[in-house]
Amino acid sequence: MTFALAALWATGAIIVALDASTKGWEYFSNPKLQSKIAIVMLLTLTVMADTLRWTMLSGFLRSVVSYTPHVLVAMAILTVGFLAARILHD
């Protein structure tokens, strides 16, 4: 789980850096990007809480993230789709 999370952060940072380098600081005012970052941060907190055995925080964060049972799978599919769209478009 922690390896998948690290891969999610790494690929996300690369994509954001590439887009920010072409669009500038305006890119960070995108609400869609902000919500994606917020979801990944919640997921990161959930994994940290599970890893460090923060039982109360872990239970709360699990209830927040539980709307999608496989958040990492969903994020991986979105990442692959986005990368494929960028490759095909360029």
pLDDT at 16 over 80: yes
Model pLDDT, residue 14: 92
pLDDT tens for residues 24-74?
888 888 888 888 888 888 788 777 766 666 565 556 666 666 655 566 666
Model pLDDT, residue 88: 65
pLDDT at 8 over 80: yes
pTM listed for this prediction: 0.53
Model pLDDT, residue 79: 73
Cβ(76)–Cβ(8) below 8 Å: yes
- The DSSP symbol for 80 reads H
Cβ(86)–Cβ(74) below 8 Å: no
Model pLDDT, residue 45: 77
The two three-digit tokens of residue 57, written as one number: 């925080």
pLDDT at 3 over 60: yes
